[in-house]
């Protein structure tokens, strides 16, 4: 698993690179990638704060329609 600080750092690097980019399409792509990395970091932080336990997984698979 990638450390969330690495994901945050990559997002920041991409945003900085986008600021220097002259091509608007490339700049927008870099910003979207940065947003994805930031979202991954947030998701990982949420997962670490609320770990899944075996009971909740079992309930997920045994619930009826």
Flag the least confident range among 3-7, 13-17, 18-22.
3-7
- Mean residue pLDDT of the chain comes to 88
This prediction has a pTM of 0.73
Domain ranges of the chain: 4-62
| CA 16/CA 26 separation, integer angstroms | 13
Per-residue pLDDT reduced to its tens digit, 27-55: 999 999 999 999 999 998 888 787 777 77
Residue 65, pLDDT above cutoff 70: no
Half-sphere CA count of 15, side-chain side, radius 13 A? 11
pLDDT given for residue 61 in this prediction = 78
pLDDT given for residue 64 in this prediction = 61
| CA 65/CA 16 separation, integer angstroms | 48
- Tokens standing for residue 33: 């990638």
């Amino acid at each position: 698993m990638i450390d969330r600080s690495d994901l945050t750092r990559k997002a920041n690097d991409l945003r900085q690179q986008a600021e220097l980019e002259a091509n608007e399409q490339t700049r927008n792509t870099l910003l979207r990638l940065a947003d994805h990395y930031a979202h991954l970091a947030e998701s990982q932080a949420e997962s670490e704060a609320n770990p899944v336990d075996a009971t909740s997984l079992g309930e997920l698979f045994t619930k009826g329609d």
